[in-house]
Structure 1
Amino acid sequence: MADTGGLLLRWLSEQGAGSLSDVKQGMWWLAAKHSQDIEPGAPGRWLRDAVSLAHMDIDWRNRRWCAAPPVLTRLPQARGLAVLSGSRTAAFDARVTQAGQDGLLELFQVPSARPPRDIPLPPSIIIQFDDEAGLASWAAELGVSYTPCFALQGAALLPPLNPGAPTSAPEFGKPLEYYDLERGEYQPVPRPQGEGLYRLKRRDSKRVCQILRDGQWYETSHEQGVYLALETRNRAADVLRWRSEKDCGRERFGTLFVDWGYPLPDLHRRVTVMCCGLAPRINAQAKNLAYDNVPHAVAAKIAQSLGQHLGENDE
C-alpha cells in the first residue's frame, strides 16, 4: 500500500466535496485492493488525520466533507522548513513537481508512520528555504496562499470550551451510551447516569454526542465533550504532557503527549500537527499520541483552551 495515501488524496482533491458515507466506501474499495487486513476504524482515523494535516475539512454533524485549498506555511523555528498542505489535484501536483525541478526551493516528501492495519497517509511535502520573502514569492508563483506560521497564529485564537447549543434529553428507552472517563470508552447504560458525555442515535439514524451539565443537555462533538466532561467533574486530568527537547537552544520546543481516550478537537489537533507537518506518532505501549516540534507556548495554549493543566513528561 505504498502509494495508497497519495492516491486517496488525489481522488478527494479531484472530487472536491461530498458525503462522508460515499468517501468511506471509496476508501474501503481502494484500501482493499492493496490489503485485506485494514481495521474497521481505519477510514475514520485516516479522515481525522487528513483534517489535522489540513488536506480537507469535515462537517461531522452533517456528514459532509470538502477538500481544503493548498496553503504554504512555515513550521515554528524548524531551521528553515515549511509545509505545503491542502488538496493535490493532478494539475497542482504537476506544478509542484515542475517547481521542484526548477530548483528554486528544495522539496522533500516525508511519510507519516502508521501501523500496518491502518490506511497509509499521503506523504507531507516539506520545503527547505533560506529566506521568508523568497518563500512567500514562490507561493505566489505556485498560486497558493501563504501563511507565515499557522501553528503560532492558530494557537493564539483557540477558543475556550463551550457546551454548544441546548438540546432535548435523550429519548426514554432508546439505546444510550455513557463515556467512561477512566476507561476512555463508551459503555451502554439504560438511562442517564448523571452529568457527563453521552452518545445516542437520533430518529434520522445519525449518531450524535450530548453532554449533561448543570441539569441541561447540550449538543457537542465527541472530542469537545470529553474535555467538557472532565471540566464538569472539576478534573484537571493528567492527559496532556509536554517534554522539552535536549538540544541547546531548543529548550522551548518539545513533544506534546496526548493520552488515548482524550483526543484533541479538530482545530487543536491541526494547530499541533502544523508544528511539524506530520501526523502524530502512535505510542501503543504508552497509549498516547506524540506531537513533535511543539513550542511550550503552543502546548500551554492548547491545555488552557481545553481547561486542562499541562503536565511535564520527563521520561
Structure 2
Amino acid sequence: MIGDLLLAWISEAGNGTIADFRARAAWLARTENLDLHESATGRWLRDASALGHCEVDWKHGKWSVAPPVITRLPLADGLAVLVGARRQRLLRAIDEEGVYAEQARRLGSSRDIPPPCTILMPYERTRDLEEYAAALGAVYSGCAAAAIAALLGTTAPAKPTAPPAYDSPFEHLSSFSPQTWAPTLPSRPNPSEGLHREQVNGRWQHLLRREGGWYATDLSRGVFAELARRGETVIRWRPDGDHRTRTGTVIVDWGASLPPLQARALVLCSGFVPRFGSAAETSLYDNVPREIAARVASSLGQTLQTSS
C-alpha cells in the first residue's frame, strides 16, 4: 500500500525536506487515484513520527528517518513492535533469519494516506527480542512508551520572544473545538492573554501572551498552555475493564493535537495511530497504562480524568 511505499522511500532516502516529501507523496497518491485532503501528506508525516519511524522538524521544514528499533508494548501479553527505518534488507532479514513477525493494519479516512502496516513480534523472554534485534541489525529499547513518558517534562512555553509586528496579520485563539481564530490588532494596548498567531513570510508563527510578556511556542504546546490557563481538561482515561484494570483508552478532544513526544508515548502503547470517534470528536489511543496516561496529561498541564 501507499503508506508502506512511503516508509520504504524515506527509509532509503534517510532525510529530506518536508516540501519535497509533500510533492512526492502527492504524486504517488495520484498514481493510485486517491482523492486526498490537502493536509493529508502532513498528517502522514505526523503519524509516522508518532509511530517512531522518523523525526520531523516542522519549524525548519526537514525530516529524518529513525534507526530500526524493537520495543515492547506495555502490559500487552508478550508483544513487541518494530519501528524506525524499514529498508528492504531488513524485511529480507526477517524472512532469512526466521524471525516470527505479524503485519497488522488500521485504516483511517479514505482521504488520508494510510499509515504503514504495524510489524508485531510475539515473544516469551526479553532475550528473544535481543536476539531478534541482533539478527535484524536493529536496537532493542525495552519499553519505549514507558521510557518516553518517564522523561516528559512540562511543555509550558518559557522562551521570551519579541512582540508581533504592527503590520502583520495577527489573530487570537477564541475557541478550541473547533479551533476558531479571531482577527485582532497587534498594536492594541494591553493585548489579551492567551494564544495568538502572527503571519510571517506566509507562515503562521504562534505566540503566547502571559502577564505582559510574549513567549514563543508551537501550536500544540500553545493550545495546552492556554487550556491549562483556563482550567479546561481535554484528556481522559477509560479503563478496558473493571476498576482493577491497568490498561485503558486515552481520549483526547479534537482541537487539541498532542505534541510529538506525548503522541509517541501513547502510540507506542499499541503500535497503532489513534482511532477517531467522529460523533464525539475525539482521538482514541489504545492499550495505555494509567500511569503513562497520567504522565502525559501532567506534562501538558492537564489533570487526567477517569471516565466509565
- TM-score range (shorter-chain normalised) is over 0.9
**Using the alignment, how far apart are the partners of 2:10 and 2:171 within structure 1?**
33
Equivalenced residues, count = 304
Q: Which residue of 2 aligns with 1:147?
A: 141
In structure 2, the partner of 1:241 is 236
**Alignment-derived partner of residue 218 in structure 1:** 215
**Contact 2:177 2:254 (8 Å CA) reproduced:** no
* 1:229 aligned residue: 226
**3-state SS, counterpart of residue 63 of structure 2:** strand
Is structure 2 residue 308 aligned with structure 1 residue 311?
A: no
**2:87 maps to 1:77:** no
Q: Is the 8 A contact 2:101 2:122 kept in 1?
A: yes
Identity of aligned residues (%): 38
Q: Is the 8 A contact 1:195 1:232 kept in 2?
A: no
Task: List gaps (5 residues or longer) in structure 1.
Answer: none
Is residue 274 from structure 1 mapped to residue 268 from structure 2 by the alignment? yes
Q: Which residue of 1 aligns with 2:86?
A: 88
Residues 1:118 and 2:115 are matched in the alignment: no
In the alignment, is the contact (CA less than 8 A) between 2:90 and 2:137 conserved in 1? no
Q: Say which SS state the counterpart of residue 293 (structure 1) adopts.
A: strand
Residues 263-306 of structure 1, C-alpha deviation per residue, up to 9 Å, x if partnerless? 11100000000000111011111100100000000111111111
Structure 2 portions without partners, runs of 5+ = none
SS at match of 1:106: coil
The amino acid across from 1:227 in the alignment is: F
Tell me what 2:49 maps to.
51
Match of residue 135 from structure 1: 129
| Structure 1 residue runs of 4 or more that deviate by more than 6 Å after TM superposition | none
**What are the Cα deviations for residues 87-108 of structure 1, in whole angstroms up to 9, with x where unaligned?**
1122222222333xx2xx4211
Q: Does 1:157 align with 2:151?
A: yes
Measured after TM superposition, the shift of residue 15 of structure 1 is 1.0
Q: Quote how far apart the aligned CAs of 1:196 are.
A: 1.3
TM-superposed CA distance for 1:59, in Å, is: 0.9
**Closer, same or farther: CA 29–189 of 1 in aligned 2, 3 Å:** same
Secondary structure of the 1:6 match is: helix
User: What SS is found at the alignment partner of 2:101?
Assistant: strand
Deviations 1:227-260 (A, max 9, x none): 1112233x1x2310111011796x0110000000
- The 3 A distance-change label for structure 1 pair 70 and 77 is same
Take 2:203 and 2:9, find their aligned partners in 1: how far apart are those partners? 26
CA distance in 2, matches of 1:16, 1:161: 29
1:62-93: CA deviation from partner (whole Å, max 9, x where unpaired): 11110011110000010100000001122222
Cα distance, 1:225 vs structure 2: 0.6
TM-score after normalising by structure 2: 0.94
After TM superposition, give the deviation of residue 56 of structure 1 in Å: 0.5
Aligned to 1:34: 32
Is the 2:227–2:233 Cα contact (8 Å) retained in structure 1? no
| Deviating more after overlay: 187-196 vs 112-121 | 187-196
Q: How big is each residue's C-alpha offset from its partner over 1:137-178, in whole Å with a ceiling of 9 and x where there is no partner? A: 221221111111011111111011231421111111311222
d(CA) in 2 for partners of 1:208 and 1:47?
20
**3-state secondary structure, aligned to 1:125:** strand
**TM-score (normalised: structure 1):** 0.92
Equivalent residue letter for 1:23: F
